[in-house]
Amino acid sequence: MASAPLSFDQFTVLTHGSSTGRFATPAGLDLGDGLNLLLASPSGQTLLARLSWQRISVNPTALSAAEGGERRAYRIFLAQRSTATVRITSTADPQFAPSVQDLFFAAAGWQAVQQLRVEAADNSLVEGSHAGVATHLAQSADFNLEGYLVASVGVEIADNDPLPLVRVGDASGARAPASSP
């Protein structure tokens, strides 16, 4: 025999979080800011309710990479059910390249977590530490997600090009030869 559905007013709020708190799923995905409620049903069962105003989440939003180094990954997922396929286009500046430019979330599989990998551009320019940014834009027939500007990902990049050697003078004014590596 199926039980009758419960209305929200039958639950007791045990604890709640605010927009200043973060919430991570058991799988470790950061769902971002929102309202978290721990509810108790009349029978004493507890339920975690997540009210989020983010429609599409990115995790993490900051990465570190090195020129000529390993690729770094971040994840994108829909924080709400979609009524149509959602295309998320990633645009990166020339400092690094994403593994793919477009991610697709089908309405039937909207809850899938997808991963993008980025690799710092290995050039011969001496730049020192520098940064790059990837932006994301959603396109969908779903009115709630069409044109939604998704969080950007900042990438701090360590340069692998050596600084040029500079000759320095001694106290007498004579110049010492440049050292070599």
Can you give the three-state secondary structure of 106-163, one letter per residue?
CCCCCCCCEEEEEEECCCCCCCCCEEEEEEEEEEECCCCCCCCEEEEEEEEEECCCCC
* Arithmetic mean of pLDDT, 78-97: 88
Is the pLDDT assigned to residue 38 strictly greater than 50? Answer: yes
121 plus 153 within the same structural domain? yes
* Arithmetic mean of pLDDT, 24-34: 48
148 plus 73 within the same structural domain? yes
Look at residue 171 and tell me if it is in a domain.
Answer: no
pLDDT band at 16 (very low <50, low <70, confident <90, very high): very low
Q: Hey, how many other C-beta atoms are within 10 angstroms of the C-beta on 11?
A: 18
pLDDT value of position 138:
92
39 plus 65 within the same structural domain? no
Look at residue 127 and tell me if it is in a domain.
Answer: yes
102 plus 20 within the same structural domain? no
Look at residue 175 and tell me if it is in a domain.
Answer: no
Residue type, 75: R
Coil, strand or helix at 62: strand
76 plus 154 within the same structural domain? yes
The 8-class DSSP code of residue 174 comes to P
44 plus 112 within the same structural domain? no
Place of tokens 């020129």: 67
Q: What percent of the chain has pLDDT over 90?
A: 17
Domain count, the chain: 2
102 plus 149 within the same structural domain? yes
pLDDT value of position 23:
46
Look at residue 41 and tell me if it is in a domain.
Answer: yes
Look at residue 181 and tell me if it is in a domain.
Answer: no
Which domain does 137 fall in, by range? 56-158
pLDDT value of position 43:
72
Q: 135 has which bridge partners?
A: 91
45 plus 64 within the same structural domain? no
Look at residue 108 and tell me if it is in a domain.
Answer: yes
Look at residue 65 and tell me if it is in a domain.
Answer: yes
Write the CB contacts of 115 (distance below 8 Å, at least 6 apart in sequence): 73, 74, 75, 76
Is the pLDDT assigned to residue 46 strictly greater than 60? Answer: yes
Give the model confidence (pLDDT) of 93-133 as tens digits.
Answer: 888 877 888 999 999 988 899 999 988 888 888 888 888 88
Is the pLDDT assigned to residue 74 strictly greater than 90? Answer: yes
pLDDT band at 145 (very low <50, low <70, confident <90, very high): confident
20 plus 109 within the same structural domain? no
